[in-house]
Amino acid sequence: MITFCLLHIDQHSDSWDVAYIGQVQQQIANGERAKAEDVDNNISVFNNFGTKKFPQAIIIGVKKGGTRALLEFLRIHPDVRAVGAEPHFFDRFYEKGLEWYRNLMPRTLDGQITMEKTPSYFVTKEAPRRVFAMSRQTKLIVVVRDPVTRAVSDYTQTLSKNPGLPTFQNLVFKNSSRGLIDTSWSAVRIGIYAKHLENWLQFFPLSRLLFVSGERLVTDPAGEMGRVQDFLGLKRVITDKHFYFNQTKGFPCLKKPEGSSRQRCLGKSKGRPHPHISPEVLLRLRDFYRPFNLKFYQMTGQDFGWD
Ligand code: A3P
pLDDT, tens only, 6-46:
333 333 334 333 333 443 344 333 333 333 333 333 344 45
**What pLDDT is stored for residue 119 in this prediction?**
98
Residues 259-288 pLDDT 10s: 666 669 999 999 999 999 999 999 999 999
The reply to whether 249 belongs to the active site is: no
- Judge if the beta carbon of residue 270 lies within 6 A of ligand 1: yes
pLDDT value of position 234? 98
- Residue 66 counted as an annotated binding residue: yes
Smallest CA-to-CA distance from 253 within 226, 222, 230 is with 222
Name the residue at shortest CA distance from atom 14 of ligand 1.
271
Q: Domain 10-300's class?
A: alpha beta
Mean pLDDT of the chain: 87
Phi, psi of 73 (to 5 degrees): -70, -40
Distances (CA, A) of 159 to 35, 154, 156: 37, 9, 5
Quick one: pLDDT band at residue 296, thresholds 50, 70, 90? Answer: very high
270 is in an annotated binding site: yes
CA distance 79 to 307: 37
Give nearest CA residue, ligand 1 atom 2.
271
Q: How high is the pLDDT of residue 176?
A: 62
Q: Helix H segments across 40-106?
A: 67-74, 98-104
The pLDDT assigned to 88 comes to: 98
Average pLDDT over every residue of 200-216: 98
* Opening angle at CA 76, ends 70 and 77, nearest 5: 100
pLDDT value of position 27 = 38
Which residue's alpha carbon is at the smallest distance from atom 6 of ligand 1? 68
d(CA 198, CA 32): 46
Instruction: List the single range of 45-59, 143-157, 221-235, 272-286 with lowest mean pLDDT.
Output: 45-59
pLDDT of residue 286: 98
97-106 pLDDT, tens digit each: 999 999 999 9
Ligand 1 near 64 CB (within 6 A): yes
3-state secondary structure of 82: strand
Residue 119 Cβ < 6 Å to ligand 1: yes
Query: Which residue has better confidence, 63 or 43?
Result: 63
CA-63 nearest atom, ligand 1: 7
Predicted TM-score (pTM) of the model is 0.87
Determine if ligand 1 sits within 6 Å of the CB of residue 210: no
Q: Per-residue confidence at 241, pLDDT binned at 50, 70, 90? A: very high
Q: Which residue has the higher pLDDT, 72 or 262?
A: 72
Find out whether the peptide bond into 18 is cis, omega within 30 degrees of 0.
Answer: no
Distance (Å) from CA 65 to ligand 1 centroid? 7
The mean pLDDT of 132-147, rounded to a whole number, is: 98
Band of pLDDT at residue 207, cut at 50, 70 and 90: very high
Domain ranges of the chain: 10-300
Environment class of residue 55 by beta-carbon count within 10 Å: exposed (0-12), middle (13-18) or buried (19+)? buried
**Average pLDDT, stretch 165-180?**
89
Separate counts of helices (H) and strands (E) for the chain: 11, 13
Above 90 in pLDDT, residue 186? yes
User: At 62, is the pLDDT very low, low, confident or very high (cuts 50, 70, 90)?
Assistant: very high
Of the residues 52, 63, 64, 125, only one is catalytic, namely 64
Ligand-binding site membership of 295 (annotated):
no
Distance CA 74, CA 85 (A): 14
Percent of the chain exceeding pLDDT 90 equals 79
Interval between CA 115 and ligand 1 midpoint (Å): 19
Averaged pLDDT, 60-74: 98
The dihedral over CA atoms of 4, 10, 16, 17, expressed in degrees to the nearest 10, equals: -70
Q: Ligand 1 mean position to 79 CA, how many Å?
A: 24
Give the mean pLDDT of 137-163. Answer: 98
Cβ atoms 157, 269 nearer than 8 A: yes
Binding site membership of 66 for ligand 1 (Cβ less than 6 Å): yes
Integer Cα distance of 280 and 70 in angstroms: 32
Q: Is 153 in the pocket of ligand 1 (CB under 6 A)?
A: yes
Report how far ligand 1's centroid is from the alpha carbon of 281 (Å).
Answer: 23
